[in-house]
Structure 1
Amino acid sequence: MHGGSRGCCRKTSHCWWMNYFSQDSPVFHRQEIVCSVSLCFPGPHTLLLMVRVDRSFTETYRRAVQEHLELITDTVWAHIIVLFNFGDWLGDTTIEQHIESEGEALQWLVEKCGNRYHVLNNRSNSGFQVTELMRKIEELMSCNSSCYCKIEGGILQEKRREEQKRAGERLTRRQKQRETDRSLLGELYCPSELRIMLLSGRNTGRSSAGNTILGREHFKVGCHATDCVEGQGKVRGETVTVLDPPGWLSVGPGSLMSPSASGVTVVLVVVNVSSSFSHTVWRTAEKHLEALGEKVWNITMVLFPFGDWLGDTTLEQRIESEGEPLQRLVEKCGNRYHVLDSKNQGTGAQVTDLLQKIEEMLVEERLEVLQRRE
């Protein structure tokens, strides 16, 4: 969504998954949609709603658009122009023919926006199409008597500042915890073989995370397997085995047993940073993890794939903004967490850091075992 005015142009942008309803989007992104509008002080005159013409516009997409836009204000529709990009895909078809042929969902959207729309040909360098767009923006401003889309963002901005403060405190606490653990590395037990079990529901990026850890395409992304898939490789010269079970219910206490006395299995709970983390998801995770034994939390860490979705947001900000369910999971795991950019599997530093955190977690677990024996 873009905001602009006569004589100058200030822009902010935000997006959501086309098939996500508002409740499926992370709380942080819902807040960003509202905050992005307030960045164009005192408010944007126009919002450009991007719609790709090379993709079918379904009822799911229509509802997702409506729910996300109305987070801003109920009157937002009076300031929107539908901007169809990838216009070259239309060929000889006019945009009007495309709208009519696409069906009720897209027709509803165009009508809701006062029948205001424009097409951009992404392969064309012609300035005329941009000039025409600016003319339509000025016409909309004239119809609205140059009034802008106004929201009250003060309360939300204050909440965001509080979340940033808590995020900084969480990061500081985590850094101190890691420093203590690193000081004990080498003095306590270190496994010769590491087995990493990835646990989550569906569509969390679990298989993609497994591929990133192994540094190769071993697990099939997007396929719903019925059996546990196992992959093994050398990471930093160590033997690492990644277990990708089909879901929570397929894992029992015996799954934590290692093939040798010198090996150890750790659990990574996979949480998709581009999706909301609800109370229902938290209760499911808690129920199935505790079925593995009360000590399972000592060897469990939260893993966030799709880290590229965060943009300039820190992982700590994401945790704080999402609310109690995600915070409870992270705290239950001893404030241990890691983020992976699944699009950069060749970046070994993020995997090296993950294994370092796992070693530190095992130091904590081993220390607790020794203290219990004493």
Structure 2
Amino acid sequence: MEIVSGTIESQQTDAVVSPMVFHDPLSTRVGTTICKVIDPQLTERVVQESREETIPGDFVLVKDLIGVPFGAVFFLSLVPWDEEENGTAVQVLRLGINKILTSCEREGFESVALPALGAGIALRFPVTVVARVLQEEVCKFEQERSTSAPVQVRIVLHPKDEDANEVFNSVQEAMKYNRCTENNLESGLNWSSITKRIVLLGKTGSGKSNLANTILGEDVFTVYHSPNSGTYSCHSETRTVNRRRLTLIDTPGFFDTERTEEDLKPEVMRCLTECAPGPHVFLIVLKVDKFTKHEQKVVTKIREHFSDDALKYAVIVFTHGGQLPEGMKIEEFVHQNKNLSNLVKMCGSRCHVFDNKHWNGEEQDVYRSNQFQLEAFLQTIDKMIEEKHGSYYTNDVLQHVEEKIQEQEKQIREVSEYLPPQEIRKQAKSFVSDEFMIQLAGTATGIVLGAFFGVAALVEDVLKVVKNPTDIIKHVKTLTSKAPGVAAAAAAGTEVAAVAVGVAAGVTTLTAATVGGIRGGIIGREASKEAKTPMEAMQKTVEAIKGERNTFKMLQQ
């Protein structure tokens, strides 16, 4: 992202953005100027399309322009400033910026130029608000986008607008953005300013939730003190820690050796959606303890589930640091066990140690201080992200999840256009998590976990199911045991949910799995179409199947 002085119509970029009040492209100074330099017939087309198709936050895109320095124009529909810092006008502005940046990525545009959107006499936004919103949305887009292809975002300020230049530059400095120059286009952002998505992984009792609280500096994750308890649901929190923005995603014991994998599947689904399009860091949490056969099984399980690519984004963090012998550092402890040492090497030799209970005071030994370890840990994260140019771990499954989330966000906006972006994404994630749970109901949890962590063969297995949802009828045994959960998901009203409910309700014996399952799915889908609740869908399906059976018996007689 860069801030330049100039005029929007002179920008040599793939696209430029022109604001308009509601649906009129000629309602702003920028719009009038742009329309003068493009074909008049195109202007008439934009006027027609904007009146017919756009709502606030939408745009009309004109591409393949000839005779002008830019290749396309986004005419963005906005509403005038309503004197609310986060009111309707600002939410529409946020929505429009996000839609344009997403479209640039989809269209393959590598550069886009925007004026100070909304700061003119037609829309009357304070320039301080515009500067803040523009830079926040660009930063948010960079964090959540599904690809790492570079997109240069240029904010164009008129040379005579001294106030705007001063405000934008001060806001940019405050938010720790780097100015994009010819020698610094690759970085674009100061990577310390992006929100890092960090997934905590480890067996129950390893101290994940307590560690998350130690890192964030406040008790936001529930800590269970019973040795048989622990986190049973995926939970995420975002905070600023030592000038870094972190999102920590606490998980159940994915690598427990005593828990059944089937119990973990809903949380695997939730974790997939919470960290989509992918985590910047996997935090593998282990205890400083005697390395018994039980601990070795956990390490073996981690290595089985993770691909080599996923481990490139992993950091090993030990808890219960007080168990370290006096004067010993964590690296020495690791080297005492060959298998543990190999795991740490696979994670780029990145390891740290905390003690959530005893290292919170002023210790004579600086090393035995959570404050010291926290800064060292954050510097490791900074270095990782800088070396990877801000990229994060992803694979086909995570990208598919992100695509589904974005599709659902679009649908939510169509019916709740002024809902805050954070709430829209939250609702979209919840919906997609439920939908994926239905689709993967009969898939072994180990396969789902392996696909999450990038094991190629397992990624293919999962994608076959999620891209061909009707395949779930092949997994009748598991699905019938989860009928209540499937029914709950059917509230979404999707065809996938209806098929799942049909299978769950329509198949009563395993011998019916092949023929009855398919037929039950078809009946369930049709019977559930008019249902208003999951229970009603189940009842209609059961009644339809009973009717089908009675008809079949009559024909036999």
What range describes the TM-score normalised by the shorter chain of this pair? 0.3 to 0.5
TM-score normalised by length of structure 2: 0.29
Structure with a larger share of its residues in helix: 2
- TM, length-normalised to structure 1: 0.42
Q: Which has the higher contact order (CA 8 A, sep 6+)?
A: 1
